[in-house]
Amino acid sequence: MSIQFSKIARTPAYRALASAITEQILDGRLPEGAQLPTEAQLCEVFGVNRSTVREGIRVLEEAHLLRRESAKKLVVSRPSTEQTSHQFKRALLLHEVSCSELWEALIALEPAMARHAAQRHDEQLIAQLRDNLARTAETLSREDRTEDLDIEFHALIGQMCGNRALMLAREPLSSLFYPTFQAVLNRLPGAGLRMLEAHTEIFEAIREGDPEAAQLWMHRHIRDFKRGCEMAKLDMNRPIAAWENGA
């Protein structure tokens, strides 16, 4: 019988350093906002050269576990919603996920979020929603950037439902849909008005604290959108593409 050997794991020092710090962050020994030692001190602690330390820090910065607060203050951080959502978006983009895949995910999430939003009463967010509707009505007459207000409307509902897991999952999907929104609104004359009507119904349901109605109208709204895509002759099976303001 022969002895079994497994491959020797050759971990570079910069990676070992990054892992060591990551571990301390994840188990709470390094809490959010804690300031890290200087590069020179890290050299001593880990017994490696500054170049190596710096490579390790790059890794952690990109993972958003560290960030620079000022030019020479490196602190422990937690990945922000935007950062996480940005990573998610990029992955979906590179995998060339199709519009229908996105849409199927949205129609699962958005109605649920509207439902939860209706169960909360946040006067400030209700006011923001009202304001959003007013601006939408106004821009409709000018045929101008309506899609931005659509995105905003749904984002506000996301905030209102107060569920970070849902928010984190929804935001990238919604934002990747932007070019499609744009296309539908441009090609279908009645789409903007129809959108405003649906938004209004959803808003009313949320304001009155009626989860069922909010969910139902949101479901209709999203379903309608797909119909809009079909009427605008958009190919839902084509992969989504990045749009200028953020990939």
182-241 binders of its own copies (CB under 8 A): none
Query: Bridge-partner residues for 67, per DSSP?
Result: 75
- Least separation, in Å, of the C-beta of 47 and its own copies? 19
29-48 binders of DNA (CB under 7 A): 38-40, 47-48
Q: Phi then psi for 138, rounded to 5 degrees?
A: -65, -50
Among 13, 59, 63, 93, binds DNA (CB under 7 A): 13
* Contacted entry of its own copies, DNA, none for residue 40, CB cut-off 5 to 8 Å set by kind: DNA
Calculate Rg over the CA atoms of the chain: 23
Q: Which stretch binds its own copies (CB under 8 A): 1-9, 95-103, 205-213, 226-234?
A: 95-103
- CA 86 to CA 82: how far, in whole Å? 6
Residue 114 makes CB contacts below 8 A (sequence gap 6+) with: 157, 161, 202, 205, 206, 214, 215, 217, 218
- CA 46 to CA 53: how far, in whole Å? 8
Among 19, 24, 38, 87, binds its own copies (CB under 8 A): 87
Alpha carbon distances (Å) from 62 to 26, 57, 85? 16, 9, 14
49 scored as a contact of DNA (CB under 7 A):
yes
Helix (H) or strand (E) holding 19: helix 13-26
Among 20, 47, 62, 120, binds its own copies (CB under 8 A): 62
Binding stretches for its own copies (CB under 8 A): 14, 26, 32, 51, 54-56, 58-59, 61-63, 78-79, 83-84, 87-88, 90-95, 97, 101-102, 104-105, 107-109, 111-113, 116, 163-166, 168-169, 173, 242, 247
Binding stretches for DNA (CB under 7 A): 10, 12-15, 38-40, 47-52, 54-55, 68, 70-74
